[in-house]
Amino acid sequence: MYLLTLGLNHTTAPVAVRERVSFPGEGLRDALADMRGSLRTLMPEGAILSTCNRTEIYCATESPGEVPPALSGWLSQRQGLAAGQLDSHLYVLPNGQAVRHAFRVAAGLDSMVLGEPQILGQMKEAVRVAQDAGSLGTHLHQLFQRSFAVAKEVRSTTEIGAHSVSMAAAAVRLARRIFEDLRETRVLFVGAGEMIELCATHFAAQHPKAIVVANRTIERGEKLARQFNGSTLRLNELPDSLEKFDIVVSCTASALPIIGLGMVERATRARRRRPIFMVDLAVPRDIEPEVARLDDVFLYTVDDLGKVVQTGVESRRAAVAQAEAIIETRVDSFMQWMSARQSVPLIRQLHARGEALKQGELERARRLLARGDDPAAVLEALAQGLTSKFLHAPTSLLQRPGDDRDSLVRLIDQIFPGRD
């Protein structure tokens, strides 16, 4: 069995491409079921990791040469893209490279925000979905469990996550460039997930005039708003309320934009040239990209914030090197496990062959005992028969002419230690 990863991320594809291949919300379950139905014969094990920064398919297969084009074709067809449209953005990682990549992703080394912890939770959720779908087998299960263990080791023994600038902190930093005093601003958060909660925490520390949460599920929005003494808004109230806010941060799992160009145009006219600072952390995007062309609107995407959070990477170069060394050691260990797994069918064959020989000699011994032969002689014949049959194959190999006799001698020394 071979491991293989196919995907794209923030280093190979811009957000405009990533949003077209992501699987937000319940779309992940449907996509996994479709992939399993279409490609099960090629890849008996499969999992999909889809976040704002990456869409990756992890699989175990006996046909590593056939899987990449099949997966690429399935992904393009599933997302309504032309064949080959993704080729320049996709990477294919076989076996050891796939293992190293999974370990680096889990540890936050492959993230836009170096060392960010959110990716580990997202990977665990992807594994849970795959497990529920029945698409995790021995190999992928072991890969992900080892990935989680490596992530824990890296985070607990290195400073990889220290002094990092989060997306939320970057958003606050950019907002300060637009507004002199954030205490005079009204902030709207669209969504109520983990990323929005993190952003709300950072903005609340600036003591804005008002914090409002708009969410599809009003109860979840109210729960988040209460943490920051804020209020809530229904999504269908956004068109009439957007003009009231100076700062808008959005991150939902919607497949289509929630805030359109027309909505923002009306809001800017009502605000009479007062600026609006907007942050779209969602993939697919929540805010139509054309909004960025409007005067007095400052729209930043997840990729824009990614450039801001790169600060401080140089100061953590030693921690990165330490983390990479840990990962290399764990990759070697995992590949040894994989190699041992390749021997399992052969070991089963050996056991089956040995069992067949044993049963054959036992049946012969029982027949001899049944006709009244001397038990001691029967035992002697049983031992002689088993010994002869077990030694027949190695003896025959040693008697064959060839250049590999020395290798056979060393191998037999290992199988039968203690030979004089």
Q: Examine residue 403 and state whether it is found in any structural domain, yes or no.
A: yes
Q: How confident is the model at residue 403 (pLDDT cuts 50, 70, 90)?
A: low
Alpha-carbon distances of 412 from 349, 392, 409, rounded to whole Å: 19, 13, 5
Q: Examine residue 102 and state whether it is found in any structural domain, yes or no.
A: yes
Q: How far apart are CA 52 and CA 251, in angstroms?
A: 10
* Residues 249, 303 within the same domain: yes
Give the pLDDT confidence of 216-260 residue by residue, as tens digits: 999 999 999 999 999 999 999 999 999 999 999 999 999 899 999
For β-strands 45-50 and 186-190, DSSP reports them as unpaired
Q: What is the dihedral of CA 405, 407, 412, 417, to 10 degrees?
A: 130
Q: For the chain, what is the largest distance between any 2 Cα atoms, rounded to a whole number of angstroms?
A: 112
- Catalytic residue among 52, 59, 199, 251, which? 52
Instruction: State what percent of residues in the chain have pLDDT above 70.
Output: 96
Phi-psi sector, 21: left (phi>0), alpha (psi -120 to 50), beta: alpha
Using the 3D structure, point to which of 119, 147, 163 is the last residue of a domain: 163
* Residues 148, 180 within the same domain: no
pLDDT at 356 over 80: yes
Q: Examine residue 325 and state whether it is found in any structural domain, yes or no.
A: no
Give the pLDDT confidence of 63-91 residue by residue, as tens digits: 999 999 999 999 999 999 998 899 999 99
Q: Examine residue 371 and state whether it is found in any structural domain, yes or no.
A: yes
Q: Which pLDDT score, from 0 to 100, does residue 190 have?
A: 97
* Residues 173, 185 within the same domain: yes
Structural domain count, the chain:
3
* Residues 151, 197 within the same domain: no
Q: How far apart are CA 292 and CA 212, in angstroms?
A: 23
Q: What are phi and psi of 257, to 5 degrees?
A: -60, 140
Q: How many CB atoms lie within 10 A of CB 295?
A: 7
Instruction: Kindly report the CATH number assigned to the domain that includes residue 39.
Output: 3.30.460.30
* Residues 55, 139 within the same domain: yes
Q: Examine residue 338 and state whether it is found in any structural domain, yes or no.
A: no
Q: How confident is the model at residue 330 (pLDDT cuts 50, 70, 90)?
A: very high
Looking at residue 40, what DSSP letter applies? T
Q: How far apart are CA 248 and CA 52, in angstroms?
A: 18
Cβ-Cβ contacts under 8 Å for 54 (sequence gap 6 or more): 7, 8, 9, 10, 18, 105, 110
Q: Examine residue 88 and state whether it is found in any structural domain, yes or no.
A: yes
Q: Which pLDDT score, from 0 to 100, does residue 116 have?
A: 85
Using the 3D structure, point to which of 163, 192, 220 is the last residue of a domain: 163
* Per-residue burial over 148-169, b = 16 or more CB atoms within 10 Å of its CB, e = otherwise: bebbebbbeebbbbeebbbbbb
Closest to 282 measured CA to CA, from 115, 116, 167: 167
* Residues 61, 124 within the same domain: yes
Phi-psi sector, 25: left (phi>0), alpha (psi -120 to 50), beta: left
* Residues 119, 240 within the same domain: no
* Residues 32, 159 within the same domain: yes
Q: Examine residue 346 and state whether it is found in any structural domain, yes or no.
A: no
Phi-psi sector, 416: left (phi>0), alpha (psi -120 to 50), beta: beta
Which tokens sit at 279?
A: 């942050």
Torsion 261-267-272-277 (CA) sign: negative
* Residues 286, 398 within the same domain: no
Q: Which pLDDT score, from 0 to 100, does residue 115 have?
A: 86
DSSP alpha helix (H) spans, 9-52: 15-21, 27-39
419 in Cβ contact with 409 (< 8 Å): no
Looking at residue 24, what DSSP letter applies? -
- Collapsing DSSP states into helix, strand and coil, what is residue 326? helix
Q: How confident is the model at residue 204 (pLDDT cuts 50, 70, 90)?
A: very high
Instruction: Identify the H or E element spanning 376.
Output: helix 375-399
Q: Which pLDDT score, from 0 to 100, does residue 405 have?
A: 73
* Residues 260, 362 within the same domain: no
* Residues 294, 176 within the same domain: yes
* Residues 17, 152 within the same domain: yes
24 in Cβ contact with 284 (< 8 Å): yes
Which tokens sit at 18?
A: 């990533």
In the annotation, is 52 catalytic? yes
Strand partners for 278: 248, 299
Using the 3D structure, point to which of 132, 163, 194 is the last residue of a domain: 163
49 in Cβ contact with 31 (< 8 Å): no
Residue 96 domain boundaries: 2-163
Q: Which pLDDT score, from 0 to 100, does residue 404 have?
A: 75
Instruction: Kindly report the CATH number assigned to the domain that includes residue 171.
Output: 3.40.50.720
167 in Cβ contact with 113 (< 8 Å): yes
Q: Examine residue 342 and state whether it is found in any structural domain, yes or no.
A: no
Q: Which pLDDT score, from 0 to 100, does residue 418 have?
A: 65
Report the chain's terminal Cα–Cα distance, integer Å: 40
19 in Cβ contact with 117 (< 8 Å): no
How many Cα atoms sit within 13 Å of 35 on the Cβ side? Answer: 30
